[in-house]
Amino acid sequence: MLQTAVKHDTSALPLPTRRGLSRVEAAGYIGVGASKFDAMVGDGRMPKPKKIDGRRVWDVRSLDRSFDALPGGEDSDYNPWDD
């Protein structure tokens, strides 16, 4: 009887979701660079971080709410040709 090893593709498994992200991770999560993210936090378009001891951590749920509130999408009247 021939036995073959079965390989499991672990790349298809979802990674555990973290609720808190570092500044660089939060910027990447919303698709911008760190300096643009800093500006968006400064002008209120993105949330301020939570403070955990000496760390600043952004809550994914807060990022999602702020991202959803940004202008654009299907209901937007924005036309790039108007710029």
Is residue 47 over pLDDT 90? yes
- Mean pLDDT computed over 54-75: 92
Alpha helices, DSSP H only, in the chain? Answer: 23-30, 34-42, 60-69
Per-residue pLDDT tens over the stretch 22-33? 999 999 999 999
Per-residue pLDDT tens over the stretch 10-22? 566 565 588 999 9
Q: Tell which residue, 67, 43, 52, has the closest CA to residue 21.
A: 52
Least confident of 2-16, 31-45, 64-78: 2-16
Burial class (CB in 10 A: 0-12, 13-18, 19+), 56: middle
- Mean pLDDT computed over 35-59: 98
The pLDDT of residue 61 is 95
Read off the tokens for 37: 């993210």
